[in-house]
Amino acid sequence: MRRRMRRMRMRRAGAERGYPGSAWVCCWLLGWQAAALQLPPCEETDYHFEYTECDSSGSRWRVAVPNPSVECSGLPDPVKGKECTFSCASGEYLEMKNQVCSKCAEGTYSLGSGIKFDEWDELPAGFSNVATFMDTAVGSVENKADSCNNSSWTPRGNYIESNRDDCTVSLIYAVHLKKSGSVFFEYQYIDNNIFFEFFIQNDQCKEMESTADKWVKLTDNGEWGSHSVTLKSGSNILYWRTTGILMGSKVVKPVLVKNITIEGVAYTSECFACKPGTFSDKPGSSGCQVCPRNTYSEKGAKECTKCKEEMYYSDEGSSACIERPPCTNKDFFQIHTPCDKEGKTQIMYKWIEPKICREDLPDALTLPPSGERKDCPPCNPGFYNNESSSCTPCPPGTFSDGTQECKPCPAGTEPALGFEYKWWNILPGNMKTSCFNVGNSKCDGMNGWEVAGDHIQSGAGGSDNDYLILNLHIPGFRPPTSVTGATGSELGRITFIFETICSADCVLYFMADVNRKNTNVVESWERSKEKQSYTHIISKNASFTFTWAFQRINEGQDSRQFINDMAKIYSITVTNAVDGVASSCRACALGSEQSGSSCVPCPAGHYIEKETSQCKECPANTFLSIHQVYGMEACIPCGPGSKSTKDHSACFSDCLVSYIKDNQSLNYDFSNLSQVGSLMSGPSFTSRGTKFFHFFNISLCGNEGKKMAICTDNITDVTLKDMVAESEDFSNFVGAFVCQSTIIPSDSKGFRTALALQSNSLADRFLGATVETTLENISIKTDIFPPSPSKIPDVHFFYKSSTVTTSCENGRATVVTMRCNPNKPDQGELSVPSSCPAGTCDGCTFYFVWESAEACPLCTEQDYHEIEGACKKGFQETLYVWNEPKHCIKGVPLPEKRTSTCETVDFWLKVGAGVGAFTAVLLIALTCYFWKKNQKLEYKYSKLVMTANSKECELPAADSCAIMEGEDNEEEIVYSNKQSLLGKLKSLATKEKEDHFESVQLKSSRSQNI
């Protein structure tokens, strides 16, 4: 095959039959014959045979080609070759001299029409690496190019390993097929922070039609997957391309590829020698066998050679024997034996198998003595030993704390089923352990974890980079009988207490497999971690397999250095497990007509009344606790601005919120914002400059409490419709009130479309909507957003996520602030705090502000005023206008314009002027009249006074008492008792009634003397 790919090829002949005669070939032959007159004749070792390119009729010629640096004459003449589609069977090769298929010799193998690459000590011939930094949006490409010079696929012996950084690295191989074929390879791909593509291009660099197979599926930890694609005849350029996405400080796990097999090459002109560590002991082999342990072989071996086991050892597939080192404390471990009839367990010490050390060397340790007896720990809750050496599960309907015999549950109660493992003398029946290594089989068959009394700990394994695996299988989850009708988000939970003790970069993975379809990492912990608890919520009834995988270091080493690094699990508790056991009983509902203590399921949203043990529906706007259904306290009130679903499983917002301010009620209706709102924040950049965005979907309210916000990962090219249909098992499908995805734009990494990854839920439970800034220990800082320009209060929607992470022990929380802004109609605008462009400052609490005119309160009668128009032609108009600025929507409509009858303004002016003039004339007349009367009265009165004085006094009489002509009658007259005007009027009236006579008492000196 390699010779056939050399550049020395004959061009296709133009003749229909016979000799391959083009003009330049004839000239070349004549020149060659002329030069050959002085050259020695060719021997069989001086040349080899190759086929020419196929012509249009599918035929070709076999020609002799001199070997490099050989000059001779007399090459064999070209002869007609086999048809282009001819190939030998597996285990055979095409012997070019006679053009017949022959069996491969011992120590070699052949795939017939295929080639296989299973030896990766170095990059095989024909493969190449191309590394680029695909982010064209940040900086200069020239500046980024140098940063990827050291990125490449790296051969690791049995496999080849991808890059670990955020460069884009392609492993490329070109092959020319004479007929249709296929490519097959095995791979391990466990980290979705690195994108793994496999695609094919033709010689015009156009991608083939197999785009559906472009994205390679993730594999489980420690397992190899396989991928195969059909190849068309002609030139095929194969690309294995990886691109790392470094969003944080975590180092991505590389992609591993091995056993690349290509079918469809026309023929194999030679057999391949078995690689070191393998052998072929029969002619016509299609593959090589691996040498067993403590044997070795070199390349092309027919059999394996044994090592001197007293001094040397070797692993399976070794190419040489290794000298045995002296034994140390890293070469043995201790275990606890099962309890005997006396309730005792023994501490036993065992060598790590296979034993590779020697005890007879200086400074070597020997195995410590075994057999120390200790008291057995009690049985786990729900189990009892019944005076035997083994613990058995309690029968259905009974319970035990592990120290007492199983007892039936009292009447009106039922067993609380589950598993609680806290004593580890033997591995429970629904758990198993194993060991796996990517690059070797040293630990195959070993226990990955060992029981140790009060905990279970990771085992020794065969290498420091082994995956030490512990599995727990739960066939399903089912809530207690009384709450089987509930539709809450939690069916059960698994809680475990663990600790990691590490001196290197160890990792403990916790994974979940749903219905045995795919295993996904739920959480992981790196390096040493103090003793702590972790809880995972189960939200659907399915078969689960939970896996704990511990790895000391990521890369293999020749010697053991970190065998003392370990992970410990102290307890594992699973609630509501199908086929579980009970350590206690819980109250249940009793039927109204049943006999005995059988429990009946309560309908959805019903709790168990303590007095009667009957089912009773929760009050309105309360939801039923998923942890307790006994008593009225099991019904938890909904938060402000929320109401319960019909089945009382949760609370939701119907988009209506009310608030009383200054004795004025503000009513909000967010119904027009009940559709999912989206926000793309950013861009942000990784430490290497890769551009990415944070994408959020928000389902604010309504929809009867359904979680309408959907986030998905699209790296598998699965359509959204397929995702929704398979959402029960699709791990990268998230439905919530608020969800988040990381978006890498198409221009960032050279992909055709933007990539969505790391989808997660930020809110799956609605807490309430209020104008207060704190609800259930979730607070929003008043200065996190700019103040609102209006006096309308903001409404805050509070949400909670039940998903617990390492950094968020209490789960995530989300606050969506609804702000009235009349300048932003319809859906308005979503934004995040300027100080926290990712929407969160601590990674646990997310804040959003939604500005829209739809967030304004409903209009009331206080939001408008009236304006009266002028009276024209007997009619007057009254207009109603909104108060400015308007900060309300919908609600009370603006009243229609009102028209009423009226009198004109000129008429009333005339009436007013006439009345005023009449009143003025009347007042003047009255004033004159009363003044004239007053003058007459004063004159008459003075005359009477003077007459009296002249009769009774001795004073000389006046010349005249009358007012003479020309005299002034306005002389001031002084009276002893002057009357007021009112008194004078009264006197005048009396005088007129009494015949106009007035009696006046006059005092004189005479009267005083009498």
As a whole-number percent, the residues of the chain with pLDDT over 70 amount to: 79
- On the question of pLDDT at 37 being above 70, the answer is no
In the chain, the amino acid numbered 749 is K
Please determine, for residue 971, whether its predicted confidence score (pLDDT) is greater than 50: no
Please report the pLDDT score of residue 278 as a whole number. 92
pLDDT surpasses 50 at 577:
yes
Per-residue pLDDT band at 139 (split at 50, 70, 90)? very low
Q: Are 502 and 528 in contact (CB under 8 A)?
A: yes
Kindly state the average pLDDT of the residues 51-70.
83
> Which has more confidence, 807 or 204?
807
Q: pLDDT tens-digit profile of 661-701?
A: 777 788 999 999 988 888 888 787 776 667 788 889 999 99
pLDDT of residue 140: 42
Of 25-34, 41-50, 292-301, 906-915, which range is least confident?
Answer: 25-34
In this predicted structure, the answer to whether residue 29 has a pLDDT above a threshold of 80 is: no
pLDDT recorded at residue 752: 54
Whole-number pLDDT of residue 18: 36
Average pLDDT, stretch 913-929?
Answer: 89
User: Is the confidence at residue 17, as pLDDT, over 80?
Assistant: no
Is 54's pLDDT higher than 70?
A: yes
pLDDT at 28 over 80: no
**Three-state SS sequence of 969-998:** CCCCCCCCCCCCHHHHHHHHHHHHHCCCCC
The amino acid at residue 768 is G
Mean pLDDT confidence for 160-184:
85
Q: Which residue has better confidence, 480 or 424?
A: 424
The full DSSP string for 261-330 is EEE--S--SSPEEPPTTEE--STT-SS-EEP-TTEE--TT-SSPEEP-TTTEE--TTBSS-EEPPBP-TT
* Residue 115 · residue 268 · CB < 8 Å: yes
901-908: Cβ within 8 A, 24+ apart? 901/874, 901/875, 901/876, 902/871, 902/874, 902/875, 902/876, 903/871, 903/874, 904/871, 904/873, 904/874, 905/871
With 70 as the cut, is the pLDDT of residue 1002 above it? no
For β-strands 813-820 and 845-852, DSSP reports them as: parallel
pLDDT at 596 over 60: no
Could you read off the pLDDT of 799-848 as tens digits, one per residue?
A: 988 777 777 878 889 999 999 998 888 888 999 988 888 888 888 899 99
| Cβ proximity of 543 and 476 under 8 Å | yes
**Above 80 in pLDDT, residue 172?**
yes
Is pLDDT above 70 for 903? no
- pLDDT at residue number 805: 74
819 CB neighbour count, 10 Å cutoff: 25
State the pTM of this model: 0.62
Cα–Cα distance, 168 to 160 (Å, whole number): 16
pLDDT of residue 980: 54
Contact present, 534 and 508 (Cβ < 8 Å): no
**Most confident residue range from 134-143, 464-473, 586-595, 1001-1010:** 464-473
Average per-residue pLDDT for the chain:
78
Cβ atoms of 452 and 336 within 8 Å: the answer is yes
The residue assigned the tokens 């008792």 is 977
Asked whether the predicted pLDDT for residue 760 surpasses 70, the reply is yes
Please check the confidence at residue 261 and state whether its pLDDT lies above 80.
Answer: yes
